[in-house]
Amino acid sequence: KNPTDIISCDLDGDGKAEVLTVNEVGDTLRIFTLRGGELNLTLSLETDGDPQAVCAADMDSDGLTDILVANRADRDHTIWVGGESRRYFFTVSLFRSTGEGYERVGDYSVGRGPTDMVTLDVDGDGDEDVVVATRAGRSISLLINDGGALREGLGGSIDALQYYSSDPAQLMRGDFNLDGMDDVATVNPSNSSLELFFGSPGGGLIPSGIYYIGNSPETLTVMDIDGDKDEDVVVGNHNEPHEGDGFATLSTLRNLYYGVFHPVSYYTVGASPRGIYAADADGDGALDLGTANYFGSSVSVLYGNGVGEFSSPYFVPIGLEPYSVLLEDLNGDGLKDIASADEARNVVIVVMNQGNRSFAGDRPAYYVRGYPIALRAADLDGDGDVDLISVNNAQNATCILNNSGEGTFESTMVISLGDAMPFDVAVGDLNGDGLKDIVTANFGSEVFHGDNVSLLFRSPDGTYPTQKRLKVGVAPSSVRLSDVDSDGDLDILVACMKSDEVYVFENDGSGEFTPREVIGTGALPQSLAVADINGDGREDLLVTCTSTNDLEVLLNTPEGFVSLYRTPAGSYPYMISPGDFNSDGRVDVAYTCVNVNSVGVLTSLYYPTDLKVDVGYDLKVDYRWDGTLDGYVEVDLTEAFKEYLKENGGREVPLAVTSSMEGLVRVTVEVITA
């Protein structure tokens, strides 16, 4: 009764797996074999009480598989040390295989409240040691295998060697830093983190990094997500966010190299989200996210807390099939309002922000004709308020909605694009005359693909009499403006969805453009964004590829764009919105995932230039009861870090600094004594 853990393994070497369970009621370990397509109970063994976890390994190197059970029973285990008695309550039981059955040969004390257990070779002697997550004791316990008998800790210590952790719920084994030694990953629900412990050549484990992820993580698994032959981590988060009923999410952490991870968190929004926009919607100083939910007939607003976490979605019913969304101050009251293009109804809908995370019930719709898809905001007429620009795919046109200054848009202008069927739009001064020009990416239709972008130059009277076209690849789906070559004018970047390319055009300053480069991408590049990812003052490139389900980051160099990395990005990643979501001064990325009704948030890593770490008072390391350092001294590691890079051929190796909880940095110091 009350099974608490289950595993399958081949205990007897016959090529068929047995099933093992441990059961709280009755304090039993039970072994089932498969016969005739059914499981049959073949053996039941008594444990030390309240068993919570089970694993199997050959602990004495006799070729037979032994069994270990972690117990949470409140029992007396008296062990004499130096004439004093100590009382232990929690154990790991070892059941050794005799070839005919199992005998319980020992109960070994560990920390309080064991919840999970793995075996791995910690000290490099070729046999399996035991690591136990002891959640109530806020620690990881290590039992060393000494020729088939476990001992609690290194060097013959009678105590289990324990490593401080918040409240480890589950463990997974892996070689994350590719050094050939076993490492351990655990999740801590109380502080929403993943924690890594690397194997040490001298035996034992080295705490090696904390990554703050989704809320209340309870489970994890290790797998190679991105096919780069190192081990990544996927974490199951019990509850997102902190208020309301919440919902479960997954966080993926991509192993960049040598055990430095890149965390991604996913947040559920409405059905089939397309557009996404980052802005401070509630005025608290933290960036929030808005998504246009195409099949959900709504806009979702996810409120950020400034440390990389977002609330459950606040749904605003809007139109029938909203394709894009903006969060902009439309009426000049300092609050970010909602504007969304509804493709099905051929309208742009505006919803005013009332403050206190609420939006007005009155939602005027402005008719713009012909399947509006993309929507941008800019002060086109220079009157100090934000106007709206849509592209209407079926009408072969772009539409300008002029703002009255109070958030109403009665005056509209429709600009024909001839035979072009636009899909995206960008706004900026292309020729240096101080007026806002328009660029459209002309996708065409699913049958007849376009191959060009239109340039519309604004005149002082507010019209767009001059149009030019630039030829690009097949089915341009996204366009962005950026000063790519740092010469002070805006260049053009275009994603071509059906030819898997990004075209880059350089501006000579007068609005004349020449091709700079064509960049190959993953399959079906859907959306572009530009942002300075590495802090060098040059805007880099972000691309979502819907067929290969990834996000690619390309660094802008004087020689052209160079791929930094490509990471899995959910299912059918669509639009992108960069921003500093965790208030660390670096660019993070949010993107919609159409097929799984979610938003992915990817936090960035960076290369620090000044690094100072507190390591203890006057270099004397005094520990508190909880394992933290007491005292204070400042040690400048900048030169040491530079020397490390020099010794490694100048390779830029990012430090394992937490990506979403700023100001919390764990430094591992290995102390070797004679």
- The CATH homologous superfamily for domain 3-262 is Integrin alpha, N-terminal (2.130.10.130)
- 3-state SS of 216-236? CEEEEEEECCCCCCCCEEEEE
Residue 628: the pLDDT is: 40
CA 282 vs. chain centroid, Å, equals 24
- What CA–CA distance (Å, rounded) separates 138 from 297? 46
**Start and end residues for every CATH 2.130.10.130 domain found in the chain:** 3-262
- 3-state SS of 138-180? CEEEEEEEECCEEECCCCCCCCCEEEECCCCCEEEEECCCCCC
**Start and end residues for every CATH 2.40.128 domain found in the chain:** 263-378
Residue 24: the pLDDT is: 85
Q: Find the radius of gyration of the CA atoms of the chain.
A: 30
Residue 566 in tokens: 């490509």
8 Å CB contact between 235 and 194:
yes
Reported as a single tens digit per residue, the pLDDT across 296-308 is 999 999 999 887 8
Residue 654: the pLDDT is: 38
8 Å CB contact between 286 and 308:
no
Strand partners, 557: 560
8 Å CB contact between 576 and 591:
yes
Q: Is the pTM of this model over 0.95?
A: no
Residue 481 in tokens: 């403006």
Beta strand 161-164 with 139-146 is antiparallel
Reported as a single tens digit per residue, the pLDDT across 309-368 is 899 999 999 999 999 999 999 999 999 999 999 999 999 999 999 999 999 999 999 999
- What CA–CA distance (Å, rounded) separates 620 from 305? 37
What are the CB-based long-range contacts (under 8 Å, 24+) for 354-358?
Answer: 355/282, 355/283, 356/282, 357/281, 357/282, 357/301, 357/303, 357/314
Phi, psi for 28 (deg, rounded to 5): -125, 155
Residue 350: the pLDDT is: 97
Phi, psi for 596 (deg, rounded to 5): -120, 15
CATH code: domain 263-378 is 2.40.128
Residue 451: the pLDDT is: 96
Instruction: Give the C-alpha distances (Å, rounded to integers) separating 603 from 113, 156, 254, 581, 662.
Output: 33, 44, 11, 8, 12
Per DSSP, 72 falls in state: -
Write out residues in the chain with pLDDT < 50, as ranges: 76-83, 85-88, 153-159, 240-246, 606-635, 649-674
How much helix, strand and coil, in percent to the nearest 5, is found in the chain?
Answer: 0, 50, 45
